[in-house]
Amino acid sequence: MTVLLTGAAGFIGFHVANALLDRGERVVGVDSVNDYYDPALKQARLDRLEGRNGFAFHRLDIADPAPLFELVDATPDIETVIHLAAQAGVRYSLENPWAYADANVRGQIGVLEASRRLPRLKHIVYASSSSVYGGNTKIPFAVGDPVERPVSVYAVTKRSGELLADTYAHLYGMALTGLRFFTVYGPWGRPDMAYFSFTKAILEGTPIQVFNSGEMKRDFTYIDDIVEGVLAAAGRPPKPDDAGRAHRIYNLGNHRAEPLPRFIEVIEKACRREARKELVEMQPGDVKETYADIEASRRDLDFDPRTPIDEGIPRFVAWFRDYYGV
């Protein structure tokens, strides 16, 4: 099987690509390799992928349709599209909303339009986010919960991607599955995420900022569990519902809301150092708690996250020390 994988140089994309290659699939990877965070880390991921049989990389921007259309026209045997490319980050979306409109809305349209040109297409799996739940107070978050009150530009663009997918399923009979990721972490992760910046600061002996004085909870989901969920979804195209739309959305989370202070304690233990904490206010666009209801994911995808932070965080810290030589 040939898979078009967008965001191949990204954190989740890198791990998904490796898992697909391990299964003997052919992976056509695309990424713009932008500088939202250190491009050298993205290139290091790519260097590992490009040394593997079955992987071909194309540097392009999914918001620019011409090169994307040219690529799919030259690769008509693509059967599955796994669309992970996005402009990530809640706080940065308040500083540069244009980047999110381009990557997450225009880019979503670009991938959907490109996919329409594939004669053997069976399924599109795309990344959404737990951020779409906004400030919902009902816990845990379930796919059927209201998502009309997002609290960040990032969340708006990810919800827009879901609505676009639903519309394309209706208009063109395409099979699509959206996955709402909950705070993914692990080796080769993103430097803008808290677990990464906390680890760096603790090992350097510099303060960490603890938002809302630590009164926060997150559903931290280890990368290996996420990859299993993505691959399970990719292999199970949804059937049309009563309205004739073959589009489903699932939560991929660990089904556990960890208090921020405990999360920091686990990082401290893995680093064998105590953090210097600076208590700060809640940031605009942020939420106090995330917690995934994964009943539907378990039922339809056999999704079974097994990695607690007590196992996942030490694995990340070990990778961090090795990668950065600290």
Task: Supply the residues annotated as catalytic.
Answer: 154
Q: CB atoms < 10 A from the CB of 122, how many?
A: 15
- CA separation for the pair 196, 189 (Å, rounded): 7
Inter-helix orientation angle 194-204/309-324, to 10°:
60
3-state secondary structure of 124: strand
CA 147 to chain centre: 18
3-state secondary structure of 200: helix
Closest CA to 267 of 322, 212, 220, 232: 220
3 state SS for 46-61: HHHHHCCCCEEEEECC
Whose tokens are 């979306």? That residue is 93
Query: What are φ and ψ of residue 64, in 5° steps?
Result: -105, 105
Our CA dihedral for 205, 206, 211, 214, rounded to 10 degrees, sits at 20
Burial class (CB in 10 A: 0-12, 13-18, 19+), 272: exposed
Give the helix/strand (H/E) hosting 80: strand 78-83
Give the helix/strand (H/E) hosting 210: strand 208-211
Sign for the pseudo-dihedral over CA of 153, 29, 50, 183: positive
